[in-house]
Structure 1
């Protein structure tokens, strides 16, 4: 049997190889196309990308015709270089650089010489294209933004790089691809399928007809349309409220995890990254190290959450049984504990859970936290118990939403403190700052919003996501999978009662909206920065979290405004306005609206480095328009430059 096995395997393998060769040579000769580049010309028909709509069917992103000037360096012969440069409005030096780059890519394959001409620019070139042998145009589809907001949500379209072309056979040099936002997350769905046509060439490189009578030609298929969970009007309003400020706003529908608004500030008009000015404008945005307009603060910025974290401190203490609704701690405008350290406080007198929440009493939550840690003999074990409770809210980890960027934040555990204190000796008093959202705790605005959605749902959440509907496709089931926290449902009701009275009796009583029951929590986060090489404390970040209505919540929201001060000063009013805008589609608290729209923090930000590049970009564009030099779209950023240094 063994003597027969080896020869049999060799014979079978040889037969399979012969059959495969026969199939490729006589049955399927599609691979022959790759070896016939000298005799075959390939033309691609690029489909339109799928349209993007908001949750209510409002069109946000469509398409517009664009034309790339392509070049095959080997075919460029006897052309008037100066005339071509004048026609395309480029310098001779620019021409030489572009030709050199094309030759490096391939002397005989087409590559993009000048991308993204609009119709008028293309028309001028088309009239004289016959004079420039080796050049031709490739029609493509560029984005046409129907709105001037949501740049961080959409992302943008750019050319693929050579590394990606080598890695992914779908893309060729000059092809466009989505970057950042939903354009990147849903690239495979939005891009569609390219059509391909093959043409036979003669020895003079002239087309003489379709190859194999079009047997291998394919038709372009348009990309699928998508509906986002974003509410366009809420997104627009949030960006208006954040003009002349820096920070992030994230709003979530608690019952579904759908992201209603994702605001980062400062932002920009997405249309400035379309057309021939795209590269220059992107360079300005990319190198703006002061305002960081491409940095999505709602997803990426990690901050100490401050007082909103007291919600979780209280819930864990209730779950661990170290306090109940009636447990009382005495506050003397501060809380003293071991080693002479002192924690300032807003309150005075006896505090239980209810008034501890609406007065934001540091004493109450520091005491509850230390009781939680001291419940167990070993602080390392205790802090892991606490940490696991907190992480059940989706914190301290990547959340799994359908956007290409994010940060984990930080929820400390015993490993954290073993690194900080390798010789041991730490205990509850050492790490008590965690109780009030300071210490080693870090959260992003989307994590804060998801935390409030979880509280609104009394103990569960769905992974936040920005896709609502894709025609012909099912939404990933991970977005409809319920995540339940380790905190029993019965402990949420007393916490929600305290959050409700933040608006009635506590730190946000001036922010009430008649007829809407809002539950919320103010917060501030300490803010340090290096200025002239020295670490200085700047004005605190303003934080506010909320959900509404109290019963059957429809929206949970988190706002963080850098250098905004106390939570009820700027972030709090924005929360009330956003909630009313979403629930009523109108604003009755026009006093809050006027104050926020007229508030500029540019003076605060100027201390960190003067005029940012994005402000300079707007000033240049405005100057250009005044002098009628070029027709360039104006970005959405509005700034008060009178307060800049």
Structure 2
């Protein structure tokens, strides 16, 4: 009997404990914790994503290069689309009935109860009309967004563009990006994506049974604010950039100008370029396809991806590294009879007979013979096997930033070509080769490949008498104008300062009384070097690089015009006008010279067997058009790779 009563009390105690536990839990859930309340109310809440404004991009003087413009995404909740005026909606947003049905089907497959994008990037003009009729479209609402706009339509390869994220972007971001978000795809938009993008917000909005907004849920307690992206101050001078792009119109090539004392890039031109506004909005896919099949490749970023033989401008580097190696000095004289003889009855010709030539004169007159002798002594007369001497010669070039990417704040930079000795040993089948086997490298021809950015950086090194700062396009981040540490480090080029003066004197004379005389700037001592680069596939390339003024230099520049001929005729006047514009804000070259450059069309004839796709006016954006755009983007990168191989092939004679 006692055992029965003991079990009774134990069971009652257990039941009481369980009951108290349940009561306590209910009290916590209903009074203390409101998370379940929020969950229960989700069926009457609309979570509206608030997209942040991307950071604006300014030029070095605070002028706008990139800003934002409001657009709108039309969202749909399929289960709530009842008794809507389909024809009116299609007419307002510019789609057809088939496009409407496809969008609704896709949204329903995603979720009948959750919102998804029905139409993207509706311009503000269309939105203004659409908003007047939204009461006729149950289940639809709009979300504010921003797109990029470019007031001056310049610097496309520098600024880059944004595009909708793909699955790989979402995966790499560890969930930061969601379908429908946008991401920087090229240029500084890509390099500085994490700073520019900002942070999205969420607004919880109460809606009634008809899906009409009824105010903020719990006074916005669970809302999160969108945080705008950081602004960027670029190093570009907008007015100089506009002039440079005008001068390079209807020409293939590059212009890169650097402030030597900081490494900040003042002008960055890849020509032909394109209007960056074409990569924005609902016509972006069609515009992309047009540029993709343009035979002159306007989206190819020449300053950092094209690799050319530098031609005679390379003699500046050759003179400096040979002095540092003790091979020559300013008094070293070689006789020029009109060419340098090597091998068995082979000759590397000069354009004129220079006679006895010292270092300064060799730069002033651009003497091929002088640098044939210099190269031969660098490789064949150093008391070691030629291939080992060649590697020492190559090491000197690498210190000048050649052969490897310089580290500019843009994606896709190439390093050019400065091959190691093993390349030639394999090519010639022996390590017994001598300077005569690749003598054309002595004057910047042959297998040497240098990007236009590297050419401009060489001039910055000479202007600084021996060092450079890593070239960069963003000089300040955010309100505090933060500068990345890697852009403040001084990099030594491996040649002592004393060796620069004779080279600079020769460059000064090249402008005052040499190959670039016609491009002199009154009152400004410009030190420069012309080049005419041999091109086995067409007309020669015109090259000029320079810095000014000689003392306390403000600007270093490289101009490369493909298929133009002589550097002194085409590249030098462009550089001269840009230098004077930057230093004095004026141009004094005769008007007929300015007009000749501005109005010239030097685009080579291009043969193409590639069939251009039909481009139609876009009336409907479907999954099929997205797939075509992704396929086009893949083709573009493959096409660029083919072009790089073609440019490299043109260097090897």
TM-score of the superposed pair, with normalisation by structure 2:
0.83
Q: CA deviation at 1:314?
A: 1.2
Aligned twin of 1:579? 579
**Which residue matches 1:640?**
none
Matches within 5 A, 1:101-500: 101-102=106-107, 108-168=113-173, 169-199=175-205, 214-288=220-294, 290-348=295-353, 349-374=355-380, 375-470=382-477, 471-472=479-480, 474-500=482-508
Write the distance in 1 (CA, Å) between the matches of 2:362 and 2:171.
60
**2:544 alignment partner in structure 1:** 544
1:4 counterpart residue number: none
Q: Secondary structure at the match of 1:113?
A: strand
Contact 1:291 1:612 in 2 (8 A): no
2:59: which partner in 1?
54
Distance 2:278 2:458 in 1: 35
Contact 1:285/1:613, CA 8 A, preserved across alignment: no
Alignment correspondent of 1:92 = 97
Judged with a 3 Å threshold, the aligned counterparts in structure 2 of structure 1 residues 33 and 412 are, in CA distance, closer, same or farther, namely farther
Give yes or no for contact 1:112–1:173 (8 Å, CA) kept in 2.
Answer: no
Distance 1:483 1:494 in 2: 22
Matches of 1:460 and 1:35 in 2, distance apart? Answer: 66
Deviations 1:91-130 (A, max 9, x none): 2333344445545655554333322222221122222223
8 A contact 1:395–1:447 mirrored in 2: yes
The two structures have a TM-score, normalised by structure 1, of 0.84
Match of residue 7 from structure 1? none
Aligned partners of 2:259, 2:37: CA distance in 1, in Å?
A: 54
CA distance in 2, matches of 1:489, 1:197: 62
Counterpart contact for 1:153–1:181, Cα < 8 Å: yes
Q: Which residue of 1 aligns with 2:558?
A: 558
Shift of 1:178: 2.3
In terms of mean alpha carbon deviation, does 471-480 or 381-390 score higher? 471-480
Shift of 1:421: 3.0
CA–CA separation in structure 2 for the residues paired with 1:610 and 1:183: 34
SS of equivalent to 1:415: helix
1:257-278 residue CA offsets vs partner (Å, 9 max, x unmatched)? 0000001111122222233322
Instruction: Tell me, in whole angstroms, the C-alpha distance in 2 between the residues paired with 1:181 and 1:376.
Output: 48
Q: Is the 8 A contact 1:30 1:216 kept in 2?
A: no
The unaligned stretches of length 5 or more in structure 2 are 1-24, 618-653
Query: Which residue of 1 is the match for residue 601 of structure 2?
Result: 600
Task: State how far apart, in whole Å, the 2-side matches of 1:284 and 1:31 are.
Answer: 53
1:458-506 residue CA offsets vs partner (Å, 9 max, x unmatched) = 1100000111122135211110000001111111111111111111221
Q: Superposition RMSD on alpha carbons, in Å?
A: 3.0
Shift of 1:77: 4.4
60, 64, 69: which one pairs with 1:64? 69
d(CA) in 1 for partners of 2:40 and 2:508?
72
Q: Displacement, 1:551? A: 0.9
User: 1:422/1:114 Cα in 2 relative to 1: closer, same or farther (>3 Å)?
Assistant: farther
Report the CA distance between 1:76 and its aligned residue. Answer: 3.9
1:495-644 paired onto structure 2 within 5 Å: 495-528=503-536, 537-589=537-589, 590-602=591-603, 605-609=604-608
- Deviation by residue 1:2-49 (Cα, 9 ceiling, x = unmatched): xxxxxxxxxxxxxxxxxxxx9xx9899989999997675421112222
- SS of the aligned residue for 1:430 comes to helix
Q: CA 1:81–1:454 in structure 2 vs 1: closer, same or farther (change >3 Å)?
A: same
Alignment of 1:11-26 (within 5 A): none
In structure 1, stretches of 5+ residues that fail to align are 1-21, 529-536, 621-645
CA distance 1:203–1:261, change in 2 (3 Å) = same
SS in 2 for 1:538: coil
- CA 1:278/1:570 → structure 2, altered by over 3 Å: closer, same or farther? same
Structure 2 CA distance, aligned partners of 1:28 and 1:484?
Answer: 63
Aligned length: 584
